Amino acid sequence: MNEYDSDRMQDLLNLSHGFETTENEDEADLLLLNTCSIREKAQEKVFHQLGRWKKLKEKNPNLKIGVGGCVASQEGEAIAKRAPQVDLIFGPQTIHRVPTLYENTEKLNNAAIDISFPKTEKFEHLPSSPGQGPSAFVSIMEGCNKYCSFCVVPHTRGNEISRPLEDIINEAKDLASKGVVEISLLGQNVNSYRDSKLKTKGLGLSNLIREISLIQGVERISFTTSHPFEFGQDLINIYEEVPELISYVHLPVQSGSNEILKLMRRRHTREDYFKIIDKLRSARPGISLSSDFIVGFPGETDKDFQDTMDLVDKVGYDESFSFIYSPRPNTTAKDLEDSVHMEVKKERLKLLQQKLENSALSISRKMVGETRKCLVTGVSKKDPGEFQARADNNKVVIFPCNDESLIGNFVDIEILQAQNKSIRGLLVG
Ligand code: SAH
């Protein structure tokens, strides 16, 4: 979502002030930092970066510095107090106002600040994406109403707001006409998407996916992130119905312990989660799954942790993201008594990550010998004699190639080898 927001800021400032992006911060007139506050570590990085940028401002007094995103939303004016070199501060819902805020910095002595949550205004005021390359994000909803006890998102991005179906379809059509073949639907909680227009009011994510699959040129659809609560039968059926929907789902479970899930206020049990996975696997055999995990939640016992390890064994994940619990401002878990020692948390994270890596590797190895339909995404970052593609289960596949005209096209690749971080194959035909 932050990548999407950053791209929109670039598009906006290009239209409003003719700004171009540079890789070299020494020559910049405006430096914008789009921030994340999901864990404390991400937040601390912001102030380190601002410290480095302060020196640039000493060299170039005309330089403007802006901070946007969730840290800005959470800290607001406190950022300007702690880092007076900052000229503009805006939240995730006010990125469309960045050009105006930038203008205001000329008139103000203090930082220009706008961290409000103006309903759907953001979507209505953003320019449509220029659609570079074969894949594009389309934001379908923002914010979250779930209030999981550990999570800062509802506090920083606000409550759920869905875009009208018609607007999303028009944006997707526009992207397809510019050569985009893969659309990734974005939101903090995409399965609570509900169309807000009267005529089609209440229609959800499954309907949206069906509509997008009908757009000429769209050959692949994915979405992120969904929540196990509200992952209904209609969404499961859509895996049977719509072949364009990728064979991959990121469905964060956080913990395998019912006690911890309850404390996290996730609104589902491990048994509910297994049921969804079983149904998904019958609707789409071979579907790849990924998840997020939090270890060391306050009160997590060895037994709770073993339940998480057991859940990973039972499900078999293809990719995962795991973190040590980090208390966040305004969340209810922040006040829970936490008796688990940091050393124990670190050890648990290590064990979990080893298990997740083994799980991913054994799934990749099963692909060896198969021929998969892959979307060629570009030249490999490591070796220009090789190209990168993404298989129909979202796995990145590296293959030898020097034909740039293949970028953006689908090819068949025979998988030859699977290692920890990479899968290698050869073009077929
Ligand atoms: N549905 C959300 C999830 C984003 S956060 C969205 O798409 O916006 C991504 C992951 O960060 C979460 O699934 C969770 O595993 C982790 N996370 C969130 N809050 C956390 C916290 N306080 N401490 C540690 N990890 C956290």
**Closest CA relative to residue 322, chosen from 223, 277, 229, 256:** 256
How confident is the model over 16-34, as a mean pLDDT? 95
CA–CA separation, 77 and 74 (whole Å): 9
Confidence of residue 120 (pLDDT cuts 50, 70, 90): low
Express each pLDDT in 29-77 by its tens digit: 999 999 999 999 888 899 999 999 999 999 998 999 999 999 999 999 9
pLDDT over 90 (residue 133): no
Atom of ligand 1 nearest to the CA of 153: 8
Q: For residue range 214-223, list pLDDT tens digits in order.
A: 999 999 999 9
Share of the chain above pLDDT 70, in %: 100
Reported as a pLDDT band with limits 50, 70 and 90, residue 198 is low
Nearest-CA residue for atom 2 of ligand 1: 188
CA 262 – ligand 1 centroid, Å: 16
| Ligand 1 near 39 CB (within 6 A) | yes
Q: Specify whether the backbone of 337 is left (phi greater than 0), alpha (psi in -120 to 50) or beta.
A: beta
> With bands split at pLDDT 50, 70 and 90, how would you rate the model's confidence at 316?
very high
The rounded distance, in Å, linking the Cα atoms of 168 and 184 is 12
The DSSP H or E segment spanning 343 is: helix 342-367
DSSP string, 257-281: -HHHHHHTT-S--HHHHHHHHHHHH
Instruction: Give the residue carrying structure tokens 């974005």.
Output: 186
Over residues 291-315, the mean pLDDT reads 98
Span 99-103, average pLDDT = 94
Give the pLDDT score at 281. 98
Q: Which atom of ligand 1 is nearest to the CA of 322?
A: 15
- Are 290 and 254 in contact by the 8 Å Cβ rule? The answer is no
The position carrying tokens 């209440």 is 202
Residue 196 confidence class, pLDDT cut points 50, 70, 90: confident
Number of Cβ within a 10 Å radius of residue 384:
9
- Residue of the CA atom closest to atom 24 of ligand 1: 325
Nearest CA to ligand 1 atom 3: 188
Q: Which pLDDT score, from 0 to 100, does residue 384 have?
A: 83
Instruction: Tell me what percent of the chain is helix, strand and coil, each rounded to the nearest 5.
Output: 40, 20, 40
Give residue 260 CA to ligand 1 midpoint distance, Å.
Answer: 15
Task: State the number of CA atoms in the 13 A half-sphere of 92 facing the CB.
Answer: 27
Higher confidence at residue 109 or residue 158?
Answer: 158
Q: Write down the mean pLDDT value for the chain.
A: 94
Mutate to test the pocket of ligand 1, among 37, 38, 330 (most ligand atoms within 8 A of CB): 38
Q: Which of 188, 225, 255, 336 to mutate to test the pocket of ligand 1 (most atoms within 8 A of CB)?
A: 225
Which of the 8 DSSP states describes residue 135? E
Taking 70 as the threshold, does the pLDDT of residue 387 lie above it? yes
For residue range 253-280, what is the model confidence (pLDDT) as tens digits?
999 999 999 999 999 999 999 999 999 9
Q: Could you tell me how many residues make up the chain?
A: 429
CB 254 within 8 A of CB 262: no
CA of 145 to the centre of ligand 1 (A): 14
- CA–centroid distance, 399 to ligand 1, in Å, is 33
Cα 179 to middle of ligand 1, angstroms: 33
Q: Candidates 71, 151, 192, 322: which one to mutate for ligand 1, based on the most atoms within 8 Å of Cβ?
A: 151
pLDDT at residue number 171 = 94
> Order of strands across the sheet with 182-186?
135-139, 182-186, 220-224
- For residue range 142-192, list pLDDT tens digits in order: 999 999 999 999 999 999 999 999 999 999 999 999 999 999 999 999 999
Percentage of the chain lying above the pLDDT 90 cut: 87
Kindly give, in sequence order, each residue whose CB lies less than 8 Å from that of residue 142, ignoring residues fewer than 6 positions away. 1, 92, 93, 122, 157, 158, 160, 161, 187, 188
Q: Which residue CA neighbors atom 12 of ligand 1 most closely? A: 292
